[in-house]
Structure 1
Amino acid sequence: KHQLLVLDNFEQVVDAAKDIAELLRACPRLQVLATSRTPLRVRGEKELPVPPLALPPLDPLQVSGGLTGETLSQYAAVELFIQRARDVKPDFTVTNETAPAIAEICCRLDGLPLAIELAASRIKLLSPQALLNRLGHRLEMLKGGARDLPLRQQTLRNTIDWSFDLLDENARVLFRRLSVFVGGWTYDMAEAVVNADGQLGIDLYDELESLVNNSLTQSREVNGELRFSLLATIREYAHDKLHDSGEGEHIHRAHAAYCLTLVEQAEPELVGPNQAGWLDRLELEYGNIRAALDWCKTRDLERGLRISGALYRFWEMHSHIREGREWLETFATLSTGVTLSRAKVLNAAGAMADYTGDYASAQAYFEVALAVFELHGDRRRMAAALNNLAMALSFQMQFDEARKWLEQGQALKRELGDPWSIANGLDNLGRIAMFQHDYERGRQYVAEALEMFRSI
């Protein structure tokens, strides 16, 4: 006779796994189905991870028929939300107007069933959009589950507490420190940030494996490298723990230092043959970079200046123009003085203003940046600022003045022997010539620039 033994929440008695192994050896026709937040680690065990519920894409263009009540109901997370909302509000329906908010609620809650159920119970008093607006602090919002549920399932925080309490102290330390990452991390990144001073005193590999096994950390392969992440709700919980521990300042500083090293390493590669790979790398880590910039606003302005200044070409090439300008102007405004790092940010802010058609602001930024570069004798950056200032003037129809600054910049570039910058300047001289209807001269400049670009 074949029999199935179902064991729920086995993580609470995981030390009894050896008894299950003995039972299976004694009963060849017995099968055991165990739900657990951590593997049993017995021979013959087959792990079947239970993923979050399927989520809709937030881009309406990725959903056949757009984001409507009908199209959203095919996704398990939304279907659960609708069911639980109707439990407290029987006439609840999803309209074309509320569909985007409901989709975003489910995505913000990572497709976690308990989180979705707790959120849906608020529909009795809140519209979907009002509920979405209050999800900035998920853990405080998501409570008040059914009284007949176990206490651990009545609030989202209690549920995560249940898993957190299973960890040993070393894993708890690692868990809270990893919350500094936004959008994921690799093993090497964790080693560089959470153990930056080399005094963590734990086996990082073992404790990271423990977090994965306890379903608190997820892992997936990206570009041939294993990448780890925390669901947003889990990260919020862990970050609260980091704040309470008093380690937040130290870990955030290490995280910002890592991001600075990354962007400054990438910066020179964005104008060469490795450009595509580095752009992809920066895009992959953009969540971390944003978090570092946000922390630097109030904790480390100089580091924020250097990070934002190094990101100029990335923002330009990956169409983050408006966001890039906001970051650059934020740090330029918050900081003072005539430092090179601030001048570099002003120069980049001018370029972003140029791209958005704000040529007067661009000119003002470039003029201040040029003066500081001259003060420091930084000829390479002087050449770049001269080029940028010239183009801002040309867009304001001041062609003769623009050509004067460009030619001055070209002389500097040739002294420095920078072929990419020389080619860029030639291209800009060609543009100005064509703006003035001197097409033959413009063609000559552009042809020379093209030849140089091809040789780089």
Structure 2
Amino acid sequence: MIKPAFRLTEHNAVAVTELCTRLDGLPLAIELAAAHIKLFSPKMLLEQLRGRDNGQPHQGKTSKGALTFLRQKTRDVPERQQTLRMTMDWSYQLLDHPAQQLLTHLGVFQGGWTVEAARDVSLGEPQLYEEMLDRLEALVNQSLIVHHSTSEHEGVQEQPGRFSMLELVRGYALARLSESGNMEHVQRRHAEYYLALVEGIEPDQYGGGRQRAAMRSLEREQDNIAAALAFAIEQGKAEIAQRFCCALFLFWGRRDQAEEGLNWLEATMSLGGEMSLPRRRKLVLAKGWLLMRQGAYGRARTLLEESFNLSQDGTDPPTKAFILRTIGESWYLQGEYAQAASSFEAYLDMYRTGEDQEQYAHVLTRLGVILQLQRDESRAESMLSESVTLMRAKGQRTKLFIALAELSNLEGSQGKLIQALEHMREALLIVQEIGYRPAIGPTIALALIECASYLGRLGAPERAAQIGGAAEALLERRDSVFPDIYYRRYKSRLEELKVQAGEAKWADWWVEGRALSQEQGIMLALQASQEMLSHQEISSQ
């Protein structure tokens, strides 16, 4: 509350009631009016809104004439909107000029802003951090903007958090900004600020310990980033739009926004304009990467190879290694394992001593799978075990899940069912911890299928069918499919179990499993695997 000591009494009840009536009971309008209760009594607030009968100015900065003018200007607007507009105008007029200017400039933000962003985007004189914070807090006290503490944004290390405004207030601020003639100028500063932000954290997106923090930063600001990129395209600023796309394509692909990213790229390239060789290489890489995330492996690989060929001179090794790894990934997911192995091994030769041990370990996982398919199980186990060790050391839960699932599969194919079940249980515990992520959706389903096959082979066909049904339903709900490499593997194993259990029973159990949510399917797999491991331990004693 702005005035904690305020109470509804017999002396102010009539004025408060009339205030609410005049504001049509609209919550936002009432809140804006109440923000001034520290300076005005309810009766004075009412007089400010309706104007004195003699038409003389009030003690504040509004008057009957001003309010009458506003009503005349908005006669063709619905009455409730007129009430809001009138209240907004009144609140705006009570601000000093710097606060009015700041409020209008804040209208360009979408999805909120930080103190630093407000300071850099506002057109006023250069502000110290503390000065801008004071001005923002003043607008919070007027109920024109909202403060969100750090605790409301999990994982965000910001002080003092973020600010935002209701869309009604934002629309008003933008209208005022447009009237001032400064709209384009402020939008340009907004675009420049977010371009600097995305370019500053672009290197962290390629991997390393700061990758997840970089992705979270982009997630928080993606509405502002989209607005800034749209402005650059609308204004024909080809270079700025190109730089945005170069810095954002990894984020788009990893956050299941490949189609949106390709649309931004197409709009950007339609602007024409000259570009440097490094930027052309990066944009070709961007399109290839996004196409690969959509499953267009052949088209993607053509572009990725073009980007790699453009990278022979003057390109940093991490980027070249990233391209090689992505080419290998495209071959791998298409089921062309010899070509995939060639690209992956070239990557390892180039990047064996690199800082990004997470990606290095992920390539070890991929090569381990390929070596298993090529019947080189000894080398496959060595690579998968090394990958698991590296992922555990780095604390990279997502890729550790994948490595454990693949190591488990190898052990299962070798008949080491207890080891396989132990590792798959560990993998599923990670999924239970981190939740669903688009990048690992098919692998979660594969993990459930593999767990089902182990349970079936160890004598629990009912649980096997139920967990298999849950995996199938998970894929359908996520509109996903297994890559070829996985489909062939799980299909044959489940067919064998179905024949052994009897098709009728298996079908009933399968339907029961399909009714389970992802969380319920994982819970069932964890419970069944624990029961089986405990039973096996007792039996071995």
Q: TM-score range by the shorter chain?
A: 0.5 to 0.7
Match of 1:145 in 2: 78
Q: How does 1:168-317 map to 2 (within 5 A)?
A: 168-195=96-123, 198=126, 204-223=132-151, 225-269=160-204, 271-299=207-235, 300-317=237-254
Match of 1:36 in 2: 33
TM-score (norm 1): 0.61
Q: 1:143 to 1:290 in 2, by over 3 A?
A: farther
Give, in whole Å, the separation in 2 of the partners of 1:393 and 1:333.
Answer: 30
Match of 1:4 in 2: 11
Residue in structure 2 matching 1:320, options 240, 250, 257: 257
Given residue 320 of structure 1, which amino acid in structure 2 is its aligned partner? Q
Match status 1:366 vs 2:325: no
What is the DSSP-based 3-state SS (H/G/I as helix, E as strand, rest coil) of the residue aligned with 1:219?
strand
Q: 1:141 to 1:415 in 2, by over 3 A?
A: farther
What is the DSSP-based 3-state SS (H/G/I as helix, E as strand, rest coil) of the residue aligned with 1:374?
coil
Conserved 8 A contact 2:208-2:357: no
1:327-348 Cα offsets, whole Å, 9 max, x none, are: 3454455455453234224323
Larger radius of gyration: 2
What is the DSSP-based 3-state SS (H/G/I as helix, E as strand, rest coil) of the residue aligned with 2:311?
helix
Conserved 8 A contact 1:186-1:226: yes
TM-aligned CA deviation for residue 369 of structure 1: 1.7
Q: 1:330 to 1:302 in 2, by over 3 A?
A: same
TM-score (norm 2): 0.53
Give, in whole Å, the separation in 1 of the partners of 2:148 and 2:199.
Answer: 27
1:168-203 Cα offsets, whole Å, 9 max, x none, are: 322221111111211111222211221587289x95
Give, in whole Å, the separation in 1 of the partners of 2:283 and 2:375.
Answer: 34
Match of 1:448 in 2: 386
TM-aligned CA deviation for residue 274 of structure 1: 4.9
Give, in whole Å, the separation in 2 of the partners of 1:232 and 1:310.
Answer: 29
Give, in whole Å, the separation in 1 of the partners of 2:97 and 2:105.
Answer: 13
What is the DSSP-based 3-state SS (H/G/I as helix, E as strand, rest coil) of the residue aligned with 2:149?
strand
What is the DSSP-based 3-state SS (H/G/I as helix, E as strand, rest coil) of the residue aligned with 1:406?
helix
TM-aligned CA deviation for residue 354 of structure 1: 1.6
Give, in whole Å, the separation in 1 of the partners of 2:291 and 2:375.
Answer: 26
Q: 1:332 to 1:38 in 2, by over 3 A?
A: same
Q: 1:288 to 1:159 in 2, by over 3 A?
A: same
**Structure 2 residues not aligned, in runs of 5+:** 1-8, 20-29, 43-72, 152-158, 395-541
Match of 1:127 in 2: none
1:269-292 Cα offsets, whole Å, 9 max, x none, are: 453445554433332222212212
Higher helix proportion, which one? 2
Conserved 8 A contact 2:191-2:232: yes
What is the DSSP-based 3-state SS (H/G/I as helix, E as strand, rest coil) of the residue aligned with 1:181?
coil
Conserved 8 A contact 1:328-1:346: no
| Amino-acid identity (%) | 30
TM-aligned CA deviation for residue 305 of structure 1: 3.2
TM-aligned CA deviation for residue 436 of structure 1: 4.7
Given residue 234 of structure 1, which amino acid in structure 2 is its aligned partner? V
What is the DSSP-based 3-state SS (H/G/I as helix, E as strand, rest coil) of the residue aligned with 1:185?
coil
Given residue 219 of structure 1, which amino acid in structure 2 is its aligned partner? H
Give, in whole Å, the separation in 2 of the partners of 1:452 and 1:191.
Answer: 42
Residue in structure 2 matching 1:425, options 363, 367, 372: 363
**Structure 1 residues not aligned, in runs of 5+:** 11-32, 46-139
Match status 1:408 vs 2:346: yes
Given residue 78 of structure 2, which amino acid in structure 1 is its aligned partner? G
What is the DSSP-based 3-state SS (H/G/I as helix, E as strand, rest coil) of the residue aligned with 2:110?
coil
Q: 1:42 to 1:395 in 2, by over 3 A?
A: closer
Conserved 8 A contact 1:302-1:341: no
Q: 1:435 to 1:210 in 2, by over 3 A?
A: same
Give, in whole Å, the separation in 1 of the partners of 2:293 and 2:233.
Answer: 24
Q: 1:394 to 1:240 in 2, by over 3 A?
A: same
